[in-house]
Amino acid sequence: MKRSLERHLNILEFTLASLLRRRGKNLSLLAMYLLVVFILASLLFFVAALKREAAIILNDAPDMIVQRLMAGRQDLVPVRYAAEIAQIRGVAAVRPRYWGYYYDTLNGANYTIMASDDPALPPESAAIGSGVAKARNLKVGDLLPLTSYNRAPVMLEIHSIFSSSADLIAADTILMPPADFQKLFNFPNSQATDLAVSVRNPQELPTVAAKIASQYPDSRPILKREIQRTYQSIFDWRGGMTLMVLTSALLSFIIFAWDKGTGLSAEERKEIGILKSIGWETSDVLLLKFWEGIVISLTAFLLGVVLAYGHVFFLSAPLFAQALKGWSVLYPSFQLVPVVDLYQITVLFFLTVVPYTAATIIPCWRAATIDPDTAMRY
């Protein structure tokens, strides 16, 4: 046991010395490897955390949203639809929703404006997301000047600011009483943006949706599970962001694993020949190369995953946030709750460490089984 341990330690010692001899090449290889693992692990952490947030937030989504289409575009829904839909068997409640977008010409930001009938929100006041507060440099008690659709000024006093931990729900949101919403957009009294429908038995949702679609051919019901599925598909591996990062990182990994696997340099072949000629067994050479693969891949894997965790959960994923920001003036800070999916980390381990170690050993096995003299003559 002790002898075997000593053998491994000696070979590891030789491996480290051999790696340090080609310091430049191996450090650049380690940096490249670490970067690939870091990007992949960051993506896994980011997506798992966003999926969790989406599941929690969308759990409160309405059972069904009913929109109205006009000439192929979403249009306002007459409020009378609400009373009529409420008569359908199985429907528990129908609530008209009033919301829209406001383009701020001062800073080029788009706000989501929602009417809230919360009695805690007094008239001519607003509750705003932390993104809006930051963009307009506002604090509680300040006045938020907006311009209505008929060019009249609308002044709202800031009643409260949502904490930045709620950014994924409301970073760009301005909540205001329905009267102020109506004044801001010159919104028609008898219409709403859409209708939120609650159904007593979730099993009946498709039936109720079919009844609504048949009763109002211009309507478009959107079920809660469709809303949830939208976010599952965004964060799915086939979703735009995931697929783009996954493909580029995996391709880079395949390129350098391929480079490693397709052959040894003349120097490495010569080294194997010398080792064999001074009495090393083929198994010793393979063990040497195994340790070489492990030193590079395990170091890159462990450091890559730990750095990715810090990048996503301590630094709010600046790499991915940049991609999602696009041209947005106003964006959430991705303060995500840490989630570690052990299954995905295990898959990442088998996708990166195992192929690389195998790609290191196989060409060496081919070189180590030929005559030392031939190996040295390469």
User: Smaller CB distance to another protein: residue 10 or 374?
Assistant: 10
Two structure tokens written together for 42: 């960051």
Burial 83-110 (b: 16+ CB within 10 A, else e): eebeebeebeebebebbbebebeeeebe
Those residues whose C-beta lies under 8 Å from the C-beta of residue 15, and which sit 6 or more positions away, are 288, 291, 292, 295
254: nearest Cα among 14, 40, 18, 9: 40
User: Smaller CB distance to another protein: residue 294 or 376?
Assistant: 294
User: Smaller CB distance to another protein: residue 35 or 376?
Assistant: 35
Closest separation in Å from C-beta 98 to another protein = 11
**What is the rounded CA–CA span in Å between residue 209 and residue 212?**
5
User: Smaller CB distance to another protein: residue 182 or 362?
Assistant: 182
Closest separation in Å from C-beta 372 to another protein = 26
Closest separation in Å from C-beta 54 to another protein = 6
290: nearest Cα among 8, 93, 5: 8
User: Smaller CB distance to another protein: residue 286 or 295?
Assistant: 295
Question: What number of H helices and E strands is found in the chain?
Answer: 14, 13
**Dihedral of alpha carbons 29, 31, 35, 41, sign:** positive
**Dihedral of alpha carbons 75, 79, 82, 84, sign:** negative
Closest separation in Å from C-beta 26 to another protein = 13
Residue whose entry in the numeric block shows the structure tokens 């609400």: 82
Closest separation in Å from C-beta 161 to another protein = 11
User: Smaller CB distance to another protein: residue 269 or 356?
Assistant: 356
Q: Is there a contact between 221 and 65 (Cβ–Cβ < 8 Å)? A: yes
Closest separation in Å from C-beta 364 to another protein = 20
User: Smaller CB distance to another protein: residue 3 or 153?
Assistant: 3
Closest separation in Å from C-beta 292 to another protein = 12
Two structure tokens written together for 343: 């299954």
